[in-house]
Structure 1
Amino acid sequence: MSGQLHFAKGGEVTLTGGNLTYIIVAAVIALVALGFAAALVKAVLATNRGTEKMQEIAGAVQEGATAYLFRQFKTLGIFVVIAVVLLFVLPVNDAGTHETAVKIGRALFFIIGAVFSAFIGGAGMAMATRANLRVAAAAREAEGGREKAMQIAFRTGGVVGFLTVGLGLLGASIVVLIYKGNAPTVLEGFGFGAALLAMFMRVGGGIFTKAADVGADLVGKVEKNIPEDDPRNAATIADNVGDNVGDCAGMAADLFESYAVTLVAALILGKAAFGSHGLIFPLIVPTIGVLTAIVGVFITRLRKSDRSGLTAINRSFYLSALISAVLVAIAAFFYLPATFGDLDGTSLTSSRNPRVIAIVAVVIGIVLAAIIQALTGYFTETGRRPVRDIGKTALTGPATVVLSGVSVGFESAVYSAIVIAAGVYGAFLLGGGSITLSLFAVALAGTGLLTTVGVIVAMDTFGPISDNAQGIAEMSGDIDEHGARTLTELDAVGNTTKAITKGIAIATAVLAATALFGSYTDTVSTALRNANVGTALDQILNVANPSNLVGLVLGAAVVFLFSGLAINAVSRSAGAVVFEVRRQFRDFPGIMDGTQRPEYGKVVDICTRDAQRELMTPGLLAVMAPVAVGFGLGIGPLAAYLAGVVGTGTLMALFLANSGGAWDNAKKLVEDGHFGGKGSDAHAATVIGDTVGDPFKDTAGPAINPLMKVMNLVALLIAPAVVTYSTGDNKNTPLRITIAVVAALMVVAAVTFSKRKPIAMSEGGDADVPAEKQAKVTA
């Protein structure tokens, strides 16, 4: 066939003909997406900025969010430096004579992946903090305000969506163009950089936002009985800042790394399964995703006949998903041959049609996204029975609210996990008995799901923008009843879209982690072959081996420990916020009658300090735990460890995200006048439920997504070294055990440091005050 990649020794390939064109076209379309992002930025910033008071409040939120993000990036700099050194030191498989160049490329693109992830998160936050007041201003318009506010919020999200698909596709295209057959190895660094930054941004931003949110709700709503975004509450600015650094910056980085990591797995497995075509087709699919993202964002328009903004969003999502499926089918038919014998550079043989495998796999991913959207919406929308039932239990107090929310979270996790598992297994069956082919099909399902990622990111960013817009309007007081009703509706829709996108992000994490596990086994097989070890891979991965069962249990346990550390960090920081807000109400009595202004900056400082301090322990756990298991127990237990992480992490993330989303919307339901309305005992009960759910859905739950992929990538990167030092002529047991012990000690030290901090904070926010003294203070 013309236009193919021709493999030479050491993984070298020469780009010729049509395949070179495909890669260039992918890069150009990526640049087109970035151009659309720039155009939307200009359009959004040209809209009305609202009143002077609105601008003042929005300016404070912008300042706090920017300061936090820059401080976080400075903190993460040390991790980036360490990772670059390790990536250069760790060996690579089958790089031939270009091993040094591949190592340099892997380290360089780790930095690029991290920078892209940070840029997308920062740009998303910057746009959200500028769009929020414009949405609030649009809602004030008597004619068409609802539709215009919706459009501004969603198109701002579209900016972040275009940046995500544009930079992800551009980075992957450049790597394939430069490194050709060694592109998958270099892309390991690209994906690792994106995933590591995303995890830190998710954890740090989640701690910040939920500490401020919980503290603001507990003192403002429950103790002082004042509205959610009342300017008399010293935590309101920090709460609005948190929405941006947690949801906008964190989620944008999260979905970008899902995009990058899924491409990494697809290219690694694609090269083995489809040969040269396997390096190109995984680029064609996200290229189509860019085009459907453009269509999806621009067709999202709220009609006057629509029941809510969610109707318009669902309409555009399903339509863009359908367009993706059709275009991918056309691309597969024209690009892929009808038989495996016509695939260049693959050693696999199969009677199945490569076109059919590719089309069905991608469609499975697209359908999976649609089902997850519908299922998550059912369990978290205000008009659905689960949320209404939680709201009704508020009539009997906070305990029943918490119990019913936990029940909804557990139940929804089961159904969502079954759907995700069905998608993975359906893709797996396409391989017809070939593990390599089956895992490539799973990776293609992941790329199929991510064809909708542009719209998904827009949906997610829509949530915090709407939330902030409502907060700015309420704090400024420059809004009438009609505008307030519009913003309340958009905020409720935003809660649901955030829950939906978390569900889809979890599905992408599972598909990416499953595909990465396939990449891991491929890497291990290559390393065993290079080390002249005759042990079969299936013997190494035998689940009956007690050491593998130990690895499985450890992987499951790490997910619980990671979640506990994240929620505990929110609890400690929220305690400091509660004491600070109480202090200000006590020391400045004029706050309640409006004659004195709260010290908003104090709460922002507390949340920033605690988020940075609490960031390190979960980060070290994610990176060092796989190193300890791999070098300490071996390749088989490390694979089982990854299986434990994926299995437990999937259920835990779904439970935390859906229960938190349901509690949040149950509170909205009561605030809309049901079951007693604002100020009632039922309202106070739902506020308690919401504060429990806040760290669930916005800190621990979402952070599990990048956690799974970071651990898989760490395992993928260290696998050749583990094989080298465990077997063959280079076997070095003392070195291997030393590495394992050092990694384990680092994890133990980090967890011990974290656990030494008391759960409750003192009045002044000092974490070192003994618990008995704090009890006297709180009494």
Structure 2
Amino acid sequence: MSDIYLSAEGRATSLTGDNVSYIVVAAVIALVALGFAAALTRSVLATGKGTEKMQEIAAAVQEGASAYLYRQFKTLAIFVVLAVALLFVLPVHDVSGDETMVKIGRSAFFVVGAVFSAFIGGAGMALATRANLRVAAAAREAAGGRENAMRIAFRTGGVVGFLTVGLGLVGAASVVLIFKGDAATVLEGFGFGAALLAMFMRVGGGIFTKAADVGADLVGKVEKGIPEDDARNPATIADNVGDNVGDCAGMAADLFESYAVTLVAALILGRAAFGESGLVFPLIVSAIGVIVAIVGVFITRLRKSDRSGLTAINRAFYASAVLSALAVWLVATLYLQPTWAQLLGDQWRTVLDVDGDLPLGPRGVAIAAVIIGILIAAAIQALTGYFTETTRRPVRDIGKSSLTGAATVVLAGISVGLESAVYSALLIGGGVFGAFLLGGGSITLSLFAVALAGTGLLTTVGVIVAMDTFGPISDNAQGIAEMSGDVDEQGARTLTELDAVGNTTKAITKGIAIATAVLAATALFGSYTNTLVSSLTEAGIGDVGTEVLNLMNVSNPRNLVGLIIGAAVVFLFSGLAINAVSRSAGAVVMEVRRQFREFPGIMDRTQRPEYGRVVDICTRDAQRELITPGLLAILAPIAVGFGLGAGALASYLAGAIGAGTLMAVFLANSGGAWDNAKKLVEDGAYGGKGSEAHAATIIGDTVGDPFKDTAGPAINPLLKVMNLVSLLIAPAVVAYSIGDEANTGLRVTIALVATAVIVAAVAFSKRRPVAMDDDASGVGRGGGNGGDDGLPGRSTPGQRPARVNV
């Protein structure tokens, strides 16, 4: 088995002139994307800002969101420092240059990946909190309001898309140019930094946004019967802040790490399969994705004849997919035919250990793999849309079930989520297997094909990110319009339509994100096997192929236990995230009830709610609750790897990938379907707003909120973090298990310490009770700003959050 991997001596340690030129061109194209991001930003900010009252509300949302992110980054800085130290200590393998410099590079680019992930999340949120106001203002226009509002919202998302593809490609290209043959090892750090920050931002932002959303809905809409974004609801500012820190900042960082980690996996396996050209071709494909993103964003235009904004988005997405496939075919024909022929000559079948038929040849394999990825993205777009659009039967059936109460709404939504997870998993699995079959029996070529499929899927990532950011911007715009009362009935209908479209686009992007997670995790799983081969060879094992097969034998009870633990971690992670929302939402409910009780003038608008108190509750709880899921993701692979061995760790990853795929799609689609079923009733179906059916769908929506916006999307970076941690510790796991460095005592000690930290973190988390009485909302009386400064109860940036006895 070891002969199918190129060793350090067998691959290029420098880049030829032509390939350097290709990489430089890719980097320049990435910089062009960043230039387009700057231009679009100026274009969005140049549009009208609406009335003074609308601007005041938007300013409060901006301030709360910025204060939250500032505090979150301070918390996460501790993890970044610890991770940098750990990366430098962990051994590297199969390097052709200075080992110390490679370690420094891996640690340094870990920081780069983390900073890029944080920047994209923060920049996306900062622009979104300004664009939401402009979308609401555009909807007020008598002529063309619908089209203009749609254009502003989507182009704001386009800025985040350009930042994603631009910074991801610049980072990866820089690593390849600097470290050349050792780039794959350094890229592990880059991908790990992006994934780790994204996971924390996704979990923390998800807890914040859904705690506020659930609390606002349960008291405001169900108990008080006021609209969702009514200014009388003390939780409404926190709800709008949450849309930005969760759906904008968190999801933008998540999609960036999907892009970065998938590209990293392709580069690692490309180097293993084809050396120098295997490092260059994925970068070329990603450069195509940048061009496709630019075209896709600018051709997304809402026509007056379009039934909804989703029609325009779908049209642009599918056009982008076709353009991407044609461009990849052209580039592969021009680049791969001469370079791979020169590398392998007529002996490519022997070099790649291909024992079956490969009628497409190496070049055809690459083209077909990328197109498979593009087709997966298109198919998920259609499949997810079917299960979450208001015009399709699943959502309409959930809406109809509201006639018999909340219980049937919840049951119908769970049923839709479970069924959709099966179809999505089969679709993703079919894509993975199809790409794998292209390899003709060569494990290396097959895994590289899977990685290229992920890269192909992400050639449309610029449009995908724009679709995702479009959702919370539209949601916030509707909130600003409703709170201010300065948008007429026609404008309100436009914003309601865009909000419903945004619910579907968010569900679609989450489905595509989990598909990239599976493809990247499968490719990283292959990289993990490659690492095992190299580590076993360095440990002096003779028949490495046989040893690897023995290690990964699933019939071994140790490996079966590892597989079960991997699946269980996904369930525990999801449960922790949902429970965190439940606890925080309980505190929000108590605080909102307190304010309605103690300030009766809120309902007749003679008293102003103290919005800042709820923002403080959500901020504090989100920072506190994200620690336990984060520790679980990092330490569980360490505990399994050092405790049960390298084979059990491989099984652990397999279990996590399988369970994570199904769980993520189930949570995302059921939540999206519940949300749009509520929108369906609010649009007048089955009794409309204020009816018992409406109350039932609100309950379904509150159940689905932490499903679709906290736990579900967080599984995506979870899978990547666990795979990358496993990849990083694999050499140490092998070294302490086999060969001269074997040290059972140290290995077991590491496993026990990691397990103890996980147990302690979970136990500490479970000790926090759910708020069940009015004392739970005992926030210090200085939390909000109910004064006459013209702002709706803003909290001060950097203000110390008041204590809440939960």
Cα shift at 1:758: 1.2
Q: Identity over the aligned pairs, expressed in percent?
A: 79
Amino acid at match of 1:704: I
Q: Is there any run of 5+ residues in structure 1 with no aligned partner, and where?
A: 1-5, 769-777
Cα shift at 1:641: 0.2
* CA distance, structure 2, for counterparts of residue 63 and residue 344 of structure 1: 58
**Corresponding residue number in structure 2 for 1:291:** 291
Q: Is the 8 A contact 2:588 2:777 kept in 1?
A: no
* CA distance, structure 1, for counterparts of residue 321 and residue 520 of structure 2: 19
* CA distance, structure 2, for counterparts of residue 414 and residue 174 of structure 1: 40
**Corresponding residue number in structure 1 for 2:435:** 427
1:55-94 correspondence to structure 2 within 5 Å: 55-94=55-94
Structure 1 residues 595 and 261: CA distance shift in structure 2, 3 A: same
Amino acid at match of 1:441: A
TM-score, normalised relative to structure 2? 0.93
1:334-373 correspondence to structure 2 within 5 Å: 334-337=334-337, 342-343=342-343, 347-350=351-354, 352=358, 353-373=361-381
Q: Is the 8 A contact 1:210 1:698 kept in 2?
A: yes
Cα shift at 1:34: 0.1
Amino acid at match of 1:348: L
Q: Is the 8 A contact 2:511 2:668 kept in 1?
A: yes
* CA distance, structure 2, for counterparts of residue 516 and residue 478 of structure 1: 52
Amino acid at match of 2:220: G
Matched, 1:320 2:320: yes
Cα shift at 1:764: 3.6
SS of the residue 1:13 aligns to: coil
Of residues 573, 578, 588, the one that matches 2:584 is 573
* CA distance, structure 2, for counterparts of residue 573 and residue 213 of structure 1: 11
* CA distance, structure 1, for counterparts of residue 509 and residue 98 of structure 2: 41
**Corresponding residue number in structure 2 for 1:639:** 650
1:171-250 correspondence to structure 2 within 5 Å: 171-250=171-250
* CA distance, structure 1, for counterparts of residue 341 and residue 116 of structure 2: 39
Deviations 1:664-691 (A, max 9, x none): 0000000000000000000000000000
**Corresponding residue number in structure 2 for 1:596:** 607
Q: Is the 8 A contact 1:369 1:449 kept in 2?
A: yes
Structure 1 residues 556 and 767: CA distance shift in structure 2, 3 A: farther
**Corresponding residue number in structure 1 for 2:670:** 659
Matched, 1:690 2:701: yes
Matched, 1:51 2:82: no
Amino acid at match of 2:106: R
Task: Please provide the CA RMSD for this pair.
Answer: 1.6
Cα shift at 1:9: 4.1
Consecutive aligned runs of 4 or more in structure 1 exceeding 6 Å deviation: none
Matched, 1:617 2:628: yes
Structure 1 residues 25 and 572: CA distance shift in structure 2, 3 A: same
Q: Is the 8 A contact 1:386 1:408 kept in 2?
A: yes
Cα shift at 1:513: 0.5
Q: Is the 8 A contact 2:504 2:672 kept in 1?
A: yes
Amino acid at match of 2:656: V
**Corresponding residue number in structure 2 for 1:417:** 425
1:5-44 correspondence to structure 2 within 5 Å: 9=9, 13-44=13-44
SS of the residue 2:710 aligns to: helix
Deviations 1:218-239 (A, max 9, x none): 0000000000000000000000
Cα shift at 1:700: 0.3
* CA distance, structure 1, for counterparts of residue 583 and residue 477 of structure 2: 28
* CA distance, structure 2, for counterparts of residue 485 and residue 120 of structure 1: 31
Q: Is the 8 A contact 1:10 1:97 kept in 2?
A: no
* CA distance, structure 2, for counterparts of residue 760 and residue 431 of structure 1: 56
**Corresponding residue number in structure 2 for 1:469:** 477
**Corresponding residue number in structure 1 for 2:153:** 153
Of residues 711, 715, 730, the one that matches 1:700 is 711
1:716-727 correspondence to structure 2 within 5 Å: 716-727=727-738
Deviations 1:259-282 (A, max 9, x none): 111111111111111222110001
Cα shift at 1:647: 0.1
SS of the residue 1:14 aligns to: coil
Matched, 1:487 2:495: yes
Deviations 1:690-725 (A, max 9, x none): 000000000000000000000000000000000011
Cα shift at 1:343: 2.6
* CA distance, structure 1, for counterparts of residue 777 and residue 220 of structure 2: 22
**Corresponding residue number in structure 2 for 1:713:** 724
Structure 1 residues 120 and 639: CA distance shift in structure 2, 3 A: same
**Corresponding residue number in structure 2 for 1:379:** 387
Deviations 1:579-623 (A, max 9, x none): 000000000000000000000000000000000000100000000
Q: Is the 8 A contact 1:460 1:494 kept in 2?
A: yes
Structure 1 residues 97 and 316: CA distance shift in structure 2, 3 A: closer
* CA distance, structure 1, for counterparts of residue 30 and residue 678 of structure 2: 41
| Equivalent residue pairs, number | 765
Structure 1 residues 19 and 71: CA distance shift in structure 2, 3 A: same
**Corresponding residue number in structure 2 for 1:741:** 752
Deviations 1:496-547 (A, max 9, x none): 0000001000101110110010010001111001111235211110111110
Stretch moving more, 98-107 or 265-274? 265-274
Structure 1 residues 11 and 437: CA distance shift in structure 2, 3 A: closer
Q: Is there any run of 5+ residues in structure 2 with no aligned partner, and where?
A: 1-5, 780-804
Amino acid at match of 1:383: T
Q: Is the 8 A contact 1:566 1:699 kept in 2?
A: yes
Stretch moving more, 332-341 or 242-251? 332-341
* CA distance, structure 1, for counterparts of residue 166 and residue 303 of structure 2: 29
1:525-604 correspondence to structure 2 within 5 Å: 525-534=533-542, 535=544, 536=546, 537-604=548-615
Deviations 1:305-352 (A, max 9, x none): 000000000000000010000000011111112796533598425463
Amino acid at match of 1:15: L
Q: Is the 8 A contact 1:7 1:13 kept in 2?
A: no
